[in-house]
C-alpha cells in the first residue's frame, strides 16, 4: 500500500501569521480592472477583422475555407460572383455574406491559417460584452476594416491604445511545415493602414536580430529574453547581487504602486519599440 503520511506541515498556527506578515510588505499582484490593465502580448488572439487592399478592394474572395476549417462552426460565408462593373475584390468572387459568432469562437486562428488571401486576421481586442445575441454575431460590415485599414470600434468594445497593433500583420514564426529556411521571411503582408511588419525570429538556432528586428518583441516579456540579451550586470555573480538588490527594492513597504507604474511604462515602451509596422507613406 502507498505511504499516505502527509508531508511535514510548515504552515502551522504561527506559520500562518508569518506568511501574512511576509505578504504585508510585498507588492500586490492584483489590478483594479478595468481601470488598470496590463498591456497585451504581441501575438494575442482577439476579435477578427476583414482586411482590404490599399486600393480599398476587399481581400476576401468568398472561398469559404475559413468556415470549413473552423472547429467551432462559428463562421458563415456565402460567396457571390463579382459584378463586372464594380467588383468588390480582385478575384472572380467576393464574400457576399460574412458572419462570425463570437459567442462560439475559441480564437484558435485556424481560419487565419486557412485563408489564402490573408483576408481574415485577428486584432488583440478581447474585451467586449454583449447584451443580446445579435450583437455577438459580427457581420461583414462590422468586420471590414475602415478606409485607413484600422478595425471599426463597436460601442460595446473596450479598445485601448495598442490593441489594434499588428492587426493585419499576423504571421507565423516559421513555415507551416516548420521549414527553417523560411525563418526570418515576411509571411504576411498587411498593407493598408499598417504597412509591412518585420518578420519574427525563427525557432532554430540563435535569432538573427539584424534580419528580423525581433529583439524588441522578446523584450516585452522578461522570460523571452535569451542570455545574450542580458546586460553584463545581470549575468553570473554580478547578476545574483543585482537581482538581490532589485528584490529588496521591489519588496520594500509601499513599493507596490511604484512597481506597477514602472513596469507598465517599460512594457508600453517595449510595445512601441516592437511596432515595426510602417504606416502608409
Ligand atoms: S479563431 Fe477558430 S473558432 Fe474562431 S472563427 Fe477562427 S477558426 Fe473559428
Ligand atoms: S476570409 Fe479568406 S478563407 Fe474566408 S472566405 Fe474569405 S478568402 Fe476565403
Question: How many angstroms is it from 150 CA to the middle of ligand 1?
Answer: 20
pLDDT at 3 over 60: no
Cβ(230)–Cβ(218) under 8 Å? no
- For residue 279, tell me if it sits in a domain: no
Burial of 228 (0-12, 13-18, 19+ CB in 10 A): exposed
- Tens of pLDDT, residues 88-131: 999 899 999 999 999 999 998 899 889 988 899 888 888 888 89
Residues of the domain holding 65: 48-170
Nearest CA to ligand 1 atom 4: 105
- For residue 28, tell me if it sits in a domain: no
CA–CA separation, 176 vs 195, rounded Å?
Answer: 23
Mean pLDDT score across all residues of the chain: 78
Query: In the chain, how many domains are there?
Result: 1
- For residue 89, tell me if it sits in a domain: yes
- For residue 30, tell me if it sits in a domain: no
Choice between 140 and 254, residue whose per-residue pLDDT is larger? 140
Mean pLDDT along residues 158-173:
68
Per-residue DSSP letters for 102-145? TTT-----HHHHH-TT--EEE-S---B--SSHHHHEE-HHHHB-
Choice between 139 and 178, residue whose per-residue pLDDT is larger? 139
Q: Is the pTM higher than 0.85?
A: no
- For residue 241, tell me if it sits in a domain: no
Cβ(77)–Cβ(67) under 8 Å? yes
- Tens of pLDDT, residues 181-206: 666 666 666 667 666 666 666 666 66
Of all helices (H) and strands (E), which one includes residue 236? helix 236-250
CA–CA separation, 267 vs 265, rounded Å?
Answer: 5
Give the number of whichever ligand sits closest to the CA of residue 120. 2
- Tens of pLDDT, residues 251-274: 777 677 777 777 778 777 766 765
- Residue 138 has a pLDDT of 97
Question: How many angstroms is it from 262 CA to the middle of ligand 2?
Answer: 42
**If pLDDT is split at 50, 70 and 90, which confidence band does 72 have?**
very high
Q: Which whole-number Å values give the CA distances from 29 to 39, 41, 110, 131, 257, in the listed order?
A: 15, 18, 33, 31, 10
Give the number of whichever ligand sits closest to the CA of residue 114. 2
Q: Give the nearest ligand 1 atom to 109 CA.
A: 1
- Residue 58 has a pLDDT of 94
- Tens of pLDDT, residues 22-64: 777 777 778 888 888 877 766 678 899 999 988 889 999 999 9
Mean pLDDT along residues 73-93:
94
- Residue 280 has a pLDDT of 36
**If pLDDT is split at 50, 70 and 90, which confidence band does 277 have?**
very low
Choice between 93 and 217, residue whose per-residue pLDDT is larger? 93
> Residue 103 sits in a domain of what CATH number?
3.30.70.3270
> Is the CB–ligand 1 distance for residue 100 below 6 Å?
yes
**What residues have CB less than 8 Å from 250, skipping those under 6 apart?**
27, 259
Nearest CA to ligand 1 atom 2: 108
- For residue 71, tell me if it sits in a domain: yes
Q: Give the nearest ligand 2 atom to 98 CA.
A: 5
Question: How many angstroms is it from 128 CA to the middle of ligand 2?
Answer: 24
- Pick from 107, 123, 138 the residue to mutate for probing ligand 1's pocket: most ligand atoms within 8 Å of its CB: 107
Query: Residue holding cell 508569518?
Result: 18
Amino acid at each position: 500500500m502507498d505511504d499516505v503520511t502527509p508531508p511535514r506541515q510548515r504552515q502551522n498556527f504561527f506559520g500562518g501569521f508569518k506568511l501574512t506578515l511576509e505578504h504585508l510588505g510585498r507588492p500586490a499582484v492584483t489590478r483594479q480592472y478595468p481601470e488598470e490593465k496590463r498591456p497585451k502580448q504581441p501575438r494575442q488572439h482577439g476579435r477578427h477583422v476583414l482586411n482590404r487592399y490599399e486600393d480599398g478592394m476587399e481581400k476576401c474572395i468568398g472561398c469559404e475555407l475559413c468556415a470549413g476549417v473552423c472547429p467551432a462552426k462559428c463562421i458563415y460565408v456565402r460567396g457571390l460572383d463579382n459584378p463586372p462593373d464594380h467588383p468588390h475584390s480582385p478575384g472572380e468572387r467576393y464574400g457576399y455574406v460574412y458572419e462570425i459568432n463570437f459567442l462560439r469562437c475559441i480564437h484558435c486562428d485556424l481560419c487565419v491559417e486557412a485563408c489564402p488571401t490573408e483576408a481574415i486576421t485577428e486584432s488583440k481586442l478581447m474585451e467586449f460584452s454583449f447584451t443580446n445575441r445579435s450583437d455577438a454575431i459580427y457581420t461583414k460590415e462590422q468586420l471590414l476594416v475602415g478606409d485607413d485599414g484600422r478595425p471599426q470600434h463597436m460601442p460595446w468594445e473596450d479598445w485601448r491604445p495598442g490593441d489594434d497593433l499588428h492587426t493585419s500583420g499576423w504571421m507565423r514564426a516559421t513555415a507551416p511545415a516548420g521549414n527553417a529556411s523560411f525563418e526570418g521571411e515576411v509571411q504576411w503582408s498587411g498593407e493598408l493602414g499598417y504597412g509591412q511588419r518585420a518578420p519574427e525570429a525563427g525557432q532554430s538556432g540563435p535569432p538573427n536580430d539584424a534580419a528580423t528586428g525581433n529583439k524588441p518583441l522578446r523584450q516585452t516579456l522578461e522570460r523571452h529574453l535569451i542570455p545574450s540579451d542580458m546586460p553584463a550586470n545581470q549575468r553570473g555573480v554580478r547578476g545574483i547581487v543585482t537581482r538581490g538588490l532589485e528584490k529588496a527594492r521591489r519588496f520594500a513597504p509601499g513599493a507596490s504602486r511604484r512597481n506597477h507604474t514602472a513596469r507598465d511604462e517599460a512594457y508600453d515602451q517595449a510595445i512601441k519599440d516592437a511596432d515595426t509596422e510602417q504606416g502608409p507613406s
